[in-house]
């Protein structure tokens, strides 16, 4: 029997590795059912506990035997295997929690992904809505627009002008908004939103405007939802909205019905207009099968005239670690544990949007680009719009933590320059829109944006980046300490597994020596980056790798972590790892460094050491 087979790891591989069970059996995802059964049979014999006499050896063999059984249970069942291939462990959980027996085979993956998207949507909806917002508008345009004079008409000094302008800064808006949401029954939610605003009316008289809106949302099915909103203090109409979500497109329809339309529907008299409700229909559709690029078309019919909006939007996830550069598509699911990067910029996402609006005087072209630095929790964006009324642009950013967020943006409009400051904590938000000028002032907007950005860059370079590096070193040192102090059982299990593979490795080495074939001299599995803190985190996998050699060849499938191979383990979670192998073939020295998610193919001429 060939023991070029592999078994489960020691429980150290991340639970969300999408190909862990394939790694347990050292099989590619294309393996047939017969290959799965045969590999399971081989490994069951190798790691059967009854073959061990020593209790310590029996414990290690039992653990490996159970991992092999678990992998076989998942991969031998067509439904669980298809779910695992699609969504990993989450796919298996979805299969166990739902009824997929009536789902046709060609629709299985589609239905599985639809249910996952529905769960993700519900999670997002429960997290994004704030509970309360306080808005305080400030008009500080006197500082930049006004020039003061003495009684005789001569200009005052710059210092006096500044103080006089500062005294003219005033509050022009104050509003408090609160929102309460509760589910009255499964699929039906009631939302109450109250708002009290204070501002200036005609003649600069103070005006207080209280409003109270009620919204009922009902989820008819996973694809169709409906909501209705009306004012509870002054019933002037009911806003209706329905959304239908399919796999590749979304259709939304929105309208508003007024009481007069219910009493006199679609009536027409001489000198009057037809009483038709406003209507907006929007369609969002994925443009390409394997791309997140989405197109949108929105058509509105209202008393002010028709409007059409066309847009294209897309987003992308970027990972500058070694694994992310292997293929055009992500080779693995984002791990739940990740070590801090030295720069804090290793993970980021980007999104962009371009659009065209045809709506009378409001027609124009618009574009937006945003980038989110995921490790730092920072989002930056810029918006540009060219319309019939002039050029508008916005630059802003936001930092978001677990329970708090702080953001700022500056917008230059055809008739104003506005700086907006936002902050939130545990669902309570404060917004400060500050009017800097009542004119289109490019220079003022530019410097208002540049100065904070420069300060942020200096803060990152001199404070945030050194702090991230210190956090990374601390993370690596903690991993080393835990490995040698708190995870002694893991090392013992690894040693027992290596012992179990020793005979196979020795037999393979003797066969390779006899034919001057592939001989593994040294193999190490550890962090890819050789920076401070990674000392002592390499795993000696010489014996396990030699046990995989068969007929002067070695192959380990890619797109999954090698920590699942018997005799391997993950010495530090969340850090990109590399397999470094020094070997002899035909009597000549070779050396290879293979990133964790790349396939291993030995021998190769490229590995030859001159």
Query: Where is pLDDT greater, at 480 or 152?
Result: 480
Residue 32 structural domain:
20-76+487-607
The least confident of 72-86, 87-101, 393-407 is: 87-101
Query: CA–CA separation, 554 vs 546, rounded Å?
Result: 9
DSSP string, 111-177: HHHHHHHHHHHHHHHHHH--SEEEEEEEE-HHHHH---B-TTSPBPPHHHHHHHHHHT-EEEEEEEE
Average pLDDT estimate for 249-255: 93
SS (H, E, C) 304-363: CEEEEEEEEEEEEEEECCHHHHCCCCCCCCCCCCCCCCCCCCCEEEEEEEEEEEECHHHC
Instruction: Please give the pLDDT value at position 284.
Output: 93
Judge residue 8's burial from the number of C-beta atoms within 10 Å of its C-beta, 0-12 exposed, 13-18 middle, 19 or more buried: buried
- 585 pLDDT above the threshold of 70: yes
CA–CA distances in Å: residue 601 to residues 552, 581, 593, 598 = 11, 11, 11, 10
Confidence of residue 107 (pLDDT cuts 50, 70, 90): low
Q: Give the residue with greater pLDDT, 467 vs 518.
A: 518
The predicted structure's pLDDT at residue 323: 47
Task: Tell me what the mean pLDDT of segment 344-351 comes to.
Answer: 87
Helix (H), strand (E), coil (C) string for 112-123: HHHHHHHHHHHH
pLDDT tens, position by position, 212-240: 999 999 988 888 999 999 988 876 789 99
CB-based burial, 322-348: b 16+ in 10 Å, e otherwise: bbbebeeeebbeebeebbbbbbbbbbb
Evaluate whether 181 touches 173 at the Cβ level (below 8 Å): no
Task: Say whether pLDDT at 158 is over 50.
Answer: yes
Radius of gyration of the chain (CA): 32
User: Which residues are paired to 354 by β-bridges?
Assistant: 312, 367
Alpha helices in 2-129 (DSSP H): 20-25, 33-46, 55-76, 78-87, 89-97, 108-128
Rounded mean pLDDT, 584-607: 93
pLDDT at site 363: 92
What's the pLDDT band for 604 if we cut at 50, 70, 90? very high
Residue with tokens 């159970």: 66
Res. 88 pLDDT band, cuts 50 70 90: confident
* pLDDT greater than 50 at residue 7: no
Asked if residues 65 and 44 have their Cβ atoms less than 8 Å apart, the reply is yes
Q: Report which secondary-structure segment, H or E, holds 431.
A: strand 428-437
Statement: residue 126 has pLDDT above 60: no
> Three-class SS of residue 405?
strand
Tell me, what's the pLDDT at 321? 63
Are 174 and 199 a contacting pair, CB within 8 Å?
A: yes
Q: What is the dihedral of CA 546, 547, 551, 553, to 10 degrees?
A: -50
SS3 570: coil
Taking the C-alpha atoms of residue 234 and residue 212, their distance in angstroms, rounded to an integer, is: 9
User: Rounded to a whole number, what is the distance in angstroms from the first to the last CA of the chain?
Assistant: 37
pLDDT of res. 3: 40
599, β-bridge pairs? none
Separation of alpha carbons 114 and 111, rounded Å: 5
202-236 per-residue burial string, b: 16 or more CB within 10 A, e: under 16: eeeeeeeeeeebebebebeeeeebbbebbeeeeee
Which of the four pLDDT bands, split at 50, 70 and 90, describes residue 485? confident
Name the DSSP letter for residue 482: I
The string of pLDDT tens digits covering residues 254-294 is 998 876 655 555 544 444 555 567 899 999 998 888 888 99
**Location of structure tokens 């999670």:** 123
* Across 52-56, 155-159, 264-268, 459-463, least confident range: 264-268
Residues 436/417, Cβ–Cβ less than 8 Å: yes
pLDDT tens, position by position, 543-571:
999 999 999 999 999 888 898 899 999 88
What pLDDT does residue 160 have? Answer: 84
Q: Report yes or no on 471 lying in a domain.
A: no
Q: What is the pLDDT of residues 179-206, one digit of tens each?
A: 887 878 888 888 888 888 887 655 566 7
The reported pLDDT for the residue numbered 345 is 85
Question: What pLDDT was estimated at residue 183?
Answer: 78
Note whether 414 and 392 are within 8 A (CB): yes
Whether residue 549 lies inside any domain: the answer is yes
164-181 pLDDT, tens digit per residue, is 888 888 888 889 988 887
**pLDDT at residue 82 greater than cutoff 90:** no
Q: What is the pLDDT of residue 11?
A: 40
The pLDDT value recorded for residue 477 is 87
Residue 91 predicted with pLDDT over 90 = no
CA distance 568 to 77: 27
- Residue-wise pLDDT for 284-319, tens only, equals 998 888 888 999 999 998 877 889 999 999 998 887
Report the C-alpha gap between 90 and 312 in whole angstroms: 31
The pLDDT score that the predictor gives to residue 522 is 96
Residue range 496-524, pLDDT digits in tens:
999 999 999 999 999 999 999 999 999 99
Query: What pTM was computed for the model?
Result: 0.65
Total number of domains constituting the chain: 1
Ranges 14-28, 86-100, 127-141, 236-250: which has the least confidence: 86-100
- The CATH code of the domain that includes 509 is 1.10.287.110
| Percent helix, percent strand, percent coil in the chain, to nearest 5 | 35, 35, 30
Percent of the chain whose pLDDT exceeds 90: 31
Higher confidence at residue 390 or residue 89?
Answer: 390
Question: What is the pLDDT at residue 2?
Answer: 38
Q: Would you say residue 596 lies in a domain?
A: yes
393 Cβ partners below 8 Å, 6+ apart? 382, 383, 384, 385, 411, 412, 445
Residue 34 falls within a domain, yes or no?
Answer: yes
Q: At what angle do helices 55-76 and 488-514 cross, to 10 degrees?
A: 80
3-state secondary structure of 218: strand
């Amino acid at each position: 029997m060939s023991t070029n087979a592999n078994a489960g790891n020691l429980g150290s591989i991340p639970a969300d590795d999408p190909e862990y069970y394939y790694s347990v059996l050292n099989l590619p995802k294309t393996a047939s059912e017969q290959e799965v059964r045969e590999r399971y049979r081989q490994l069951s014999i190798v790691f059967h506990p009854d073959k061990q006499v020593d209790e310590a050896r029996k414990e290690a063999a039992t653990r490996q035997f159970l991992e092999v059984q678990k992998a076989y249970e998942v991969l031998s069942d067509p439904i669980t295997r298809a779910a695992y291939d699609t969504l990993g462990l989450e796919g298996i959980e979805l299969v166990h929690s739902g009824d997929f027996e009536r789902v046709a085979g060609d629709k299985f993956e589609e239905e599985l992904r639809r249910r996952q998207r529905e769960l993700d949507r519900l999670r997002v909806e429960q997290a994004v809505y704030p509970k309360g917002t306080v808005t305080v508008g400030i008009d500080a345009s006197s500082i930049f627009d006004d020039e003061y004079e003495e009684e005789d008409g001569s200009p005052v000094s710059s210092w006096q002008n500044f103080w006089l302008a500062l005294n003219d800064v005033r509050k022009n808006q104050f509003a408090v908004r609160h929102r309460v949401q509760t589910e009255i029954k499964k699929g039906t939610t009631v939302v109450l939103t109250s708002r009290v605003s204070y501002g200036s009316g005609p003649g600069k008289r103070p005006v207080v405007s209280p409003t109270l809106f009620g919204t009922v949302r009902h989820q008819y099915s996973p694809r169709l939802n409906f909501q209705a909103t009306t004012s509870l203090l002054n019933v002037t109409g009911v806003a209706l909205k329905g959304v239908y979500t399919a796999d590749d497109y979304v259709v939304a329809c929105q309208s508003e019905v007024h009481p007069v339309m219910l009493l006199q529907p679609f009536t027409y008299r001489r000198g009057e207009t037809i009483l038709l409700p406003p209507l907006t229909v929007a369609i969002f559709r994925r443009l390409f099968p394997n791309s997140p690029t989405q197109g949108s078309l929105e058509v509105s019919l209202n008393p002010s005239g028709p409007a059409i909006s066309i847009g294209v939007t897309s987003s992308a996830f970027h990972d500058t670690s070694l694994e992310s550069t292997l293929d055009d598509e992500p080779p693995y699911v984002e791990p739940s544990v990740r070590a801090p990067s030295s720069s804090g910029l290793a993970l980021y996402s980007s999104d962009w949007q371009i659009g065209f609006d045809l709506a009378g005087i409001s027609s124009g072209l618009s574009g937006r680009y945003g980038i989110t630095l995921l490790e730092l929790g920072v989002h930056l964006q810029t918006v540009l719009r060219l319309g019939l009324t002039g050029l508008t642009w916005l630059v802003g950013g936001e930092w978001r933590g677990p329970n708090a967020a702080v953001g700022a943006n500056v917008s230059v409009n055809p008739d104003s320059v506005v700086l907006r400051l936002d902050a939130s904590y545990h669902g309570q938000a404060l917004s400060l829109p500050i009017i800097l000028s009542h004119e289109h002032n490019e220079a003022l907007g530019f410097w208002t944006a540049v100065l904070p950005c420069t300060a942020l860059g200096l803060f990152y370079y001199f404070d945030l980046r050194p702090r991230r590096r210190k956090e990374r070193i601390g993370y690596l040192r903690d991993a080393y300490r835990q490995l040698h102090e708190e995870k002694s059982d893991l090392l013992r299990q690894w040693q027992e597994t290596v012992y179990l593979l020793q005979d196979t490795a020795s037999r393979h080495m003797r066969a390779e020596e006899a034919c001057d074939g592939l001989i593994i001299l040294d193999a190490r599995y550890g962090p890819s980056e050789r920076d401070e803190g990674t000392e002592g985190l390499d795993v000696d996998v010489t014996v396990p790798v030699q046990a995989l050699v068969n007929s002067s060849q070695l192959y380990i499938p890619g797109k999954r972590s090698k920590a699942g191979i018997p005799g391997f383990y993950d010495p530090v979670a969340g850090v990109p790892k590399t397999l470094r192998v020094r070997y002899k073939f035909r009597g000549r020295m070779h050396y290879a460094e293979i990133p964790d998610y790349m396939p291993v193919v030995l021998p190769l001429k490229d590995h030859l050491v001159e």
